[in-house]
């Protein structure tokens, strides 16, 4: 079963599964082995140059343009009953074999790629040290807002200009750590989540989750005390209007 649309957390869970999951091989009555991994339901992710990217379902695309061709998809997980357990460069969960990959003009290929006419944002990069290394967003963010966790798109409230300025400056500087590590350190990343959206100067957007118990973000990084207080303070403003 292919997912037409996924929540951020479902995508992150799928990436965890792809990175560290294992198939279970069962013996049938004839003594033959076949693999089983439950329902074949995948989020739309791909791997290129050692980086795992996830599809950005909600961003407007009109302000983005294709750059240089970098490669193509050579393996589709959903096409195989017993797919390989560890993704390799050129693998995708749902994209067709032969789908061409392009740079996104204005962004590093390590941060964003076009796959055909679909936008993919980096989720996991072993070489990244900061969120800017992962996402290439420093100097590119125009605005920050809260959005509805029910649909991931409905705008609730923009940050005040002063608060947005602080977030825009400090968020890209946060220390990146793989989500597997964040998940492990926070014992499952439990707790309430706020949904945020950052809007770029080119009109594209990116969704973020903020965990109130940790406190931390996904894309994965711990919040500084300043940013944690800022998000909570801005959240309260939604209910004072």
How many CA atoms does the CB half-sphere of 46 hold within 13 Å? Answer: 33
**pTM, to two decimals:** 0.86
**Bridging pattern class, strands 75-76 and 91-92:** parallel
Contact 74, 81 (CB under 8 A): no
d(CA 18, CA 10): 12
pLDDT at residue number 241: 61
- H/E stretch holding 122 reads strand 118-124
Residues 168-221: tens digit of each pLDDT = 999 999 999 999 999 999 999 999 999 999 999 999 999 999 999 999 999 999
pLDDT at residue number 25: 37
Rounded to the nearest angstrom, the gap between the alpha carbon of residue 155 and the centroid of all alpha carbons in its chain is 19
Region 16-24 average pLDDT? 40
Residues 27-75: tens digit of each pLDDT = 445 555 566 544 456 789 999 999 999 999 999 999 999 999 999 999 9
- H/E stretch holding 117 reads none
Domain ranges of the chain: 1-127, 128-241
Q: How many angstroms separate the most distant Cα atoms in the chain?
A: 69
pLDDT at residue number 36: 52
pLDDT at residue number 239: 79
Residues 113-165: tens digit of each pLDDT = 999 999 999 999 999 999 999 999 999 999 999 999 888 889 999 999 999 99
Residue appearing with tokens 């499952």: 188
Structure tokens at 100: 């061409």
212 bridge partner residues: none
């Amino acid at each position: 079963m292919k997912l037409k649309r996924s929540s951020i957390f479902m995508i992150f869970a799928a990436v965890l599964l792809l990175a560290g999951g294992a198939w279970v091989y069962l013996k049938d009555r004839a003594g033959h082995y076949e693999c089983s991994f439950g329902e074949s339901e995948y989020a739309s992710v791909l791997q290129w140059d050692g980086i795992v990217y996830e599809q950005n379902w909600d961003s407007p695309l009109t302000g983005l343009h294709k750059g240089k061709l970098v490669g193509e998809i050579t393996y589709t997980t959903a096409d195989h009953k017993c797919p390989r357990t560890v993704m390799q460069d050129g693998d995708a969960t749902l994209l067709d074999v032969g789908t061409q990959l392009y740079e996104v003009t204005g962004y590093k290929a390590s941060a964003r790629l076009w796959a055909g006419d679909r936008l993919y944002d980096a989720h996991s990069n072993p070489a990244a040290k900061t969120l800017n290394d992962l996402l290439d967003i420093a100097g590119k963010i125009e605005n920050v807002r809260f959005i509805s966790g029910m649909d991931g798109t409905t705008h609730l409230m923009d940050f005040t200009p002063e608060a947005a300025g602080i977030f825009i400056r400090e968020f890209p500087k946060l220390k990146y750590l793989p989500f597997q590590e964040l998940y492990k350190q926070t014992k499952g990343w439990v707790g309430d989540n706020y949904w945020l959206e950052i809007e770029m100067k080119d009109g594209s957007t990116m969704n973020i989750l903020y965990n109130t118990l940790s406190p931390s973000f996904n894309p994965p990084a711990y919040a500084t005390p300043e940013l944690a207080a800022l998000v909570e303070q801005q959240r309260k403003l939604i209910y004072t209007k």
